[in-house]
Amino acid sequence: MLWLIDLDGVVWRYTTLIEGSDEGITLIRSTGDPIRFVTNNSTLTRAQYVEKLGGMGIEAAEEEIVTSGMALARRVAPGERVLGIGEDGLLDELKAGKCELVAPRSPEDALQAETVALGWYRKFSYIDMSNACVAIRNGARFLATNQDPTYPLETLIVPGTGALVASVIASTGVTPEYAGKPGDAMVELVRELIDGPALMIGDRLTTDGTFAKLLGAEFAWVASGIEEEPDASIPVSIKTPNLLEAVRSKLG
C-alpha cells in the first residue's frame, strides 16, 4: 500500500513535531510500504523538506517529497515567461521546468509575463499584488499552488496561500487554476505514483479528503491541524487524533 502523508498539521505544526509522528512513520517504514509526503506548502524545496524531516528524526528521500510547486510547474511550458510570486520551493520548481522568470522592477515590467504563479509567500507585499494584477489584467494566465485560506503555526492560525490569492482575485476578477490538493495537476502527478491501494492521511477534509476521493484512495482524517466540519460527501475511513493513531488503526 502507498501511504500519502500531508505535512503541515499532520507531521508538524510549523517547526514543532506533532507528538508521535516520527513513531508513526517508523511503523510504516517497518512494513516496507512506500511513502510519499504530499504537501500544498510550496515554500521549501524538496531538499529542504528532507532536511526539515531529518531534523525531527524522520528519514526521507527527495523522491518521496511531492509539493504543490511541483504540480504547478507541470502546467508551465519551457520558455514560458512566468511571474513567480513565492519562496524557494516554488521558484526552484519553475526554474527546473526551464521557464523564464520575470522579475519586474516596475508595474510596467509585469506586462511581460504570460503566466502568474502564486504560492505561499511570507513576504507578500502590495508590490507583488500590483504586479500580479497588472499581468493578469493584461491577459496572463493565473496559477496558484493551493487555496488553503489558513496555515497552522504551533498554537496560532495565520493566513495561507488562499488569503493571498483572494487579494489578486479581488483586483482582477480572475480565479486561478489551483495546482495543489485537490487540484487536477496534483491528482495527475500523484496518480502516476499509485500502483495498488493507497491511503491519504491529512487534517483538512476539504483539501486532503477531497484529494483522496478524486484519487480513489482511502482517507484518514486526523485532528492535529486545521479543524473543519464533517462533510458526508467525502468518505472517511479512519478518524483519529493524530498520525500515529491513524497508522496504528490501519495496521491493526
**E-state strands within 48-179:** 65-67, 81-85, 100-101, 115-118, 141-144, 150-152, 157-159, 177-178
> What residues make up the domain containing 154?
71-178
Domain C-terminal end among 178, 205, 239: 178
Number of domains making up the chain? 2
- Give residue 24's pLDDT: 98
Q: Are residues 95 and 192 in the same domain?
A: no
Q: Are residues 114 and 199 in the same domain?
A: no
Q: How far is Cα 205 from Cα 226, in angstroms, rounded to an integer?
A: 9
**pTM, 2 dp:** 0.95
Grid cell 480572475 in the structure block, residue: 174
CATH number at residue 132: 3.40.50.1000
**CA–centroid distance for 127 within its chain:** 24
Q: Are residues 64 and 163 in the same domain?
A: no
Asked whether the predicted pLDDT for residue 84 surpasses 90, the reply is yes
- Give residue 40's pLDDT: 98
**CA–centroid distance for 60 within its chain:** 17
Q: Are residues 101 and 164 in the same domain?
A: yes
pLDDT in tens, 188-202: 999 999 999 999 999
What's the whole-number mean pLDDT along residues 177-184?
98
What's the whole-number mean pLDDT along residues 136-141?
98
Longest dimension (CA), the chain: 60
- Give residue 100's pLDDT: 97
pLDDT in tens, 116-133: 999 999 999 999 999 999
Q: Are residues 148 and 118 in the same domain?
A: yes
Q: Are residues 64 and 155 in the same domain?
A: no
Q: Are residues 61 and 77 in the same domain?
A: no
210 or 227: whose pLDDT is higher?
Answer: 210
Give the torsion sign (CA, 220, 17, 31, 35). Answer: positive
- Give residue 227's pLDDT: 87
What's the whole-number mean pLDDT along residues 76-84?
98
